[in-house]
Homo-oligomer: A and B are copies of this chain.
């Protein structure tokens, strides 16, 4: 063994130079450290937090509703590196310098709360979830056992129960986790466990080829999940969609038969409620019929579209969702709970989630505690420490009530409707298709092409122009983009448009 670990250490100077010298007789000195000396100056620390909070209030919260502010002080990477002092040095910076850094970080960051910020996942500032998020950061809990997170575990239970109610299940189970992609992974693994519980211990080696079905318009996390879970991206079977981006049930059934014929083992259908690009909703009832006939797990990725369940007017988009075995639903999108707030919901109540995921770590999940250990939900998770994400959604729900959340959804979809009509009226804009949801896809036709006929030459030129303008509705937005066929470019444009803060 060499002593290269010292050599590797990128610190300069004498290792002992920073150690304190005991200043009083009763000092407890161990290994050169004065144990009973002060560590941090709490008063100065508190003052720093107070000043930073004031800065955040002024520069982020109060400016969030100000349309005259910039969405982003844009700088390219190399230039931004010059502007920010990113280096971490041997000695620390004083508080006033840290506050300047905070101000710069805010200045050059994208104001995702801005009324004119239409890109991806955002719909303005929600004061209630923001307060909940400040609280959880200050309390810094980890949601695995009741003894360390009593309130947040009960809140999660209450929120899951309510979401299950809106899906239309009588009972169920679930877990908040770090994203819709991860929710989809959870569901895929759960379906696999249900199909063959032995896989948990034995793995996939030597088994027939497992295969799953989803629409050609599904989120890319399906491929990521299949790859991560050892199923393989080639075993994700992409079912053809109709002109509106919805899975064609007959094609699904054909593919299932085909896979069986080829000796593969179908185990899962992932329908999408609210596809990423077109905002399409797969026909869940028809798909559920097929899943029943073939004994397949039905997972619905409603990460984006799940919010429509809150609206009596729009929940019909998800007709049949109560027949799903699992659902992914992200309140951090249209419902504005803040990133990350994502639930996987499961219809099963035989503790399948726990059976599938438990590792029974005895140091954490002792069975002989002085309370009902069914509240120790951490063993249902792939994580160990876990954030209290449900709390943010709970706070907003408490503040607005179900009716207020419904109004949020109705408003977002009414705004989308309005935009569609404006696009139809405005010269140089061409709607791609009548939207079902808040995704509105359209072309911007530059003046030079407006008189041209819509033949192959027109489309080629439009592509070359690189001016595909893709729009999400004004308040309710998510991952933006246009499905790319050939050489196009998706970009997001900000238009002057009706907004909550006229």
Known: A45-B127, A204-B231, A339-B387. 7 other contacts (CB 8 A): A5-B320, A49-B130, A109-B149, A130-B137, A203-B231, A205-B235, A233-B359
A231-254 vs B, CB cutoff 8 Å, 1 = contact: the mask equals 111110000000000000000000
Is B30 within 8 A of A415, CB to CB? yes
Is B31 within 8 A of A179, CB to CB? no
Is A203 within 8 A of B230, CB to CB? yes
Which one of B11, B105, B403 lies within 8 Å of A11 (CB-CB)? B403
Is A290's CB within 8 Å of the partner chain B? Answer: no
Is B86 within 8 A of A18, CB to CB? no
Which one of B33, B109, B357 lies within 8 Å of A410 (CB-CB)? B33
Is A448's CB within 8 Å of the partner chain B? Answer: no
Is B30 within 8 A of A414, CB to CB? yes
Contacts of A28 in B (CB 8 A): 418, 498
Q: How many Å lie between the Cα of A393 and that of B204 in the bound state?
A: 39
Contacts of A482 in B (CB 8 A): 363
The stretch of A111-119, A344-352, A423-431 that contacts the partner chain: A111-119
Tell whether A230 pairs with B233 under 8 Å between CB atoms, given A33-B414, A77-B146: no
Is A56's CB within 8 Å of the partner chain B? Answer: yes
Is B414 within 8 A of A31, CB to CB? yes
Contacts of A309 in B (CB 8 A): 9
For A, the interface residue count at a CB cutoff of 8 angstroms equals 204
Is A98 within 8 A of B481, CB to CB? no
Contacts of A30 in B (CB 8 A): 414-415, 417-418
Is A220 within 8 A of B57, CB to CB? no
A101 to B: closest C-beta gap in Å: 7
Contacts of A318 in B (CB 8 A): 5
Q: Which of A145-183 contact B (CB under 8 A)?
A: 146-152, 154-155, 158-159, 162, 165-168, 178-182
Is A366's CB within 8 Å of the partner chain B? Answer: yes
Is B40 within 8 A of A500, CB to CB? yes
User: What are 28 A-B contacts with C-beta separation under 8 Å?
Assistant: A4-B168, A4-B322, A6-B315, A18-B403, A31-B313, A33-B414, A38-B501, A39-B124, A49-B127, A52-B135, A56-B135, A80-B150, A81-B154, A89-B401, A90-B403, A98-B398, A108-B150, A111-B139, A112-B148, A119-B148, A133-B137, A140-B338, A178-B386, A201-B227, A203-B226, A204-B204, A227-B359, A230-B230
